[in-house]
Amino acid sequence: MKITIIDGQGGKMGRTVIEQLKKRHPDLELYAIGTNSTATAAMVKAGADYGATGENPCIVNARNSDIIIGPIGIVFADALLGEITPAIAQAIGSSKAYKILIPVNRCNHYIVGCKETGLGEYIRLVCEKVDSLL
Protein backbone atom coordinates (compact mmCIF):
# COMPACT_ATOMS: atom_id res chain seq x y z
CA MET A 1 0.00 0.00 0.00
CA LYS A 2 1.43 3.36 -1.03
CA ILE A 3 0.75 6.15 1.44
CA THR A 4 1.70 9.65 0.32
CA ILE A 5 1.78 12.66 2.62
CA ILE A 6 1.70 16.01 0.83
CA ASP A 7 2.42 19.27 2.63
CA GLY A 8 3.83 22.71 2.02
CA GLN A 9 5.04 25.79 3.85
CA GLY A 10 7.08 24.49 6.83
CA GLY A 11 5.80 20.91 6.64
CA LYS A 12 4.62 20.86 10.26
CA MET A 13 1.36 19.06 9.55
CA GLY A 14 3.02 16.45 7.34
CA ARG A 15 5.84 15.99 9.84
CA THR A 16 3.38 15.33 12.65
CA VAL A 17 1.37 12.85 10.57
CA ILE A 18 4.53 10.93 9.66
CA GLU A 19 5.80 10.85 13.25
CA GLN A 20 2.51 9.45 14.52
CA LEU A 21 2.06 6.92 11.72
CA LYS A 22 5.63 5.66 12.16
CA LYS A 23 5.07 5.35 15.90
CA ARG A 24 1.99 3.18 15.28
CA HIS A 25 3.31 1.30 12.23
CA PRO A 26 7.14 1.41 12.07
CA ASP A 27 7.28 -0.80 8.95
CA LEU A 28 4.87 1.32 6.92
CA GLU A 29 6.51 2.91 3.86
CA LEU A 30 5.64 6.59 3.71
CA TYR A 31 6.24 8.95 0.78
CA ALA A 32 6.74 12.62 1.70
CA ILE A 33 6.00 15.09 -1.06
CA GLY A 34 6.65 18.71 -0.24
CA THR A 35 5.63 21.67 -2.30
CA ASN A 36 8.93 23.21 -1.17
CA SER A 37 12.23 21.84 0.11
CA THR A 38 11.62 22.95 3.71
CA ALA A 39 8.42 20.91 3.91
CA THR A 40 10.07 17.88 2.33
CA ALA A 41 13.07 18.06 4.68
CA ALA A 42 10.80 18.27 7.74
CA MET A 43 8.84 15.20 6.67
CA VAL A 44 11.92 13.16 5.78
CA LYS A 45 13.49 14.08 9.12
CA ALA A 46 10.29 12.85 10.80
CA GLY A 47 10.85 9.39 9.32
CA ALA A 48 9.42 9.30 5.80
CA ASP A 49 11.04 6.60 3.71
CA TYR A 50 11.08 8.65 0.50
CA GLY A 51 10.94 12.35 -0.20
CA ALA A 52 10.58 14.57 -3.23
CA THR A 53 9.80 18.22 -3.83
CA GLY A 54 7.70 20.16 -6.30
CA GLU A 55 4.82 20.03 -8.70
CA ASN A 56 5.85 17.00 -10.75
CA PRO A 57 6.37 14.69 -7.74
CA CYS A 58 2.92 15.71 -6.48
CA ILE A 59 1.38 14.81 -9.83
CA VAL A 60 3.29 11.55 -10.31
CA ASN A 61 2.70 10.25 -6.78
CA ALA A 62 -0.98 11.21 -6.79
CA ARG A 63 -1.35 8.97 -9.84
CA ASN A 64 -0.25 5.77 -8.11
CA SER A 65 -0.95 6.28 -4.40
CA ASP A 66 -3.45 4.25 -2.44
CA ILE A 67 -3.86 6.89 0.28
CA ILE A 68 -3.06 10.61 0.12
CA ILE A 69 -2.89 12.59 3.36
CA GLY A 70 -2.55 16.34 3.67
CA PRO A 71 -4.19 19.62 4.57
CA ILE A 72 -7.46 20.25 2.74
CA GLY A 73 -5.76 22.99 0.74
CA ILE A 74 -3.94 20.42 -1.40
CA VAL A 75 -7.09 20.11 -3.49
CA PHE A 76 -7.53 23.91 -3.94
CA ALA A 77 -5.57 25.68 -6.65
CA ASP A 78 -3.46 28.53 -5.23
CA ALA A 79 -3.85 27.34 -1.60
CA LEU A 80 -0.99 27.17 0.90
CA LEU A 81 -0.01 30.73 0.02
CA GLY A 82 0.12 29.83 -3.67
CA GLU A 83 2.17 26.64 -3.33
CA ILE A 84 -0.64 24.45 -4.71
CA THR A 85 -0.68 24.91 -8.45
CA PRO A 86 -3.79 24.15 -10.50
CA ALA A 87 -2.00 21.06 -11.82
CA ILE A 88 -1.34 19.75 -8.28
CA ALA A 89 -4.95 20.33 -7.21
CA GLN A 90 -6.20 18.61 -10.37
CA ALA A 91 -3.90 15.61 -9.93
CA ILE A 92 -4.83 15.06 -6.30
CA GLY A 93 -8.52 15.73 -6.82
CA SER A 94 -8.77 13.29 -9.71
CA SER A 95 -6.57 10.61 -8.11
CA LYS A 96 -8.25 7.30 -7.32
CA ALA A 97 -6.42 7.33 -3.98
CA TYR A 98 -8.39 7.48 -0.77
CA LYS A 99 -7.86 11.06 0.42
CA ILE A 100 -7.59 11.97 4.08
CA LEU A 101 -7.81 15.75 4.16
CA ILE A 102 -7.06 17.61 7.37
CA PRO A 103 -9.40 20.58 7.83
CA VAL A 104 -7.74 23.94 8.21
CA ASN A 105 -9.85 27.09 8.41
CA ARG A 106 -7.46 29.47 6.67
CA CYS A 107 -6.68 30.99 3.32
CA ASN A 108 -10.16 32.45 2.80
CA HIS A 109 -12.14 29.28 3.32
CA TYR A 110 -14.18 27.97 6.23
CA ILE A 111 -15.17 24.35 6.58
CA VAL A 112 -18.65 24.07 8.06
CA GLY A 113 -18.74 21.55 10.87
CA CYS A 114 -14.98 21.72 11.39
CA LYS A 115 -14.37 22.02 15.09
CA GLU A 116 -11.83 24.50 16.29
CA THR A 117 -9.58 21.82 17.72
CA GLY A 118 -5.84 21.41 17.87
CA LEU A 119 -3.74 19.71 15.23
CA GLY A 120 -3.09 16.82 17.62
CA GLU A 121 -6.74 15.77 17.62
CA TYR A 122 -6.89 15.81 13.82
CA ILE A 123 -3.69 13.78 13.58
CA ARG A 124 -5.17 11.20 15.97
CA LEU A 125 -8.21 10.92 13.69
CA VAL A 126 -5.98 10.59 10.62
CA CYS A 127 -4.07 7.73 12.26
CA GLU A 128 -7.29 5.97 13.24
CA LYS A 129 -8.55 6.20 9.65
CA VAL A 130 -5.27 4.83 8.28
CA ASP A 131 -5.48 1.99 10.82
CA SER A 132 -8.93 1.10 9.51
CA LEU A 133 -7.70 1.10 5.90
CA LEU A 134 -4.68 -1.15 6.49
Average pLDDT over residues 104-131: 77
Specify the pTM: 0.91
113 pLDDT exceeds 80?
Answer: no
Average pLDDT, the chain: 92
| Of the listed ranges 3-7, 59-63, 88-92, 117-121, the one predicted with least confidence | 117-121
Dist. CA 1–CA 106, nearest whole Å: 31
What fold, for 3-133?
A: Rossmann fold (3.40.50)
67 pLDDT exceeds 70?
Answer: yes
What confidence tens digit (pLDDT) does each residue in 6-25 have?
999 999 999 999 999 999 99
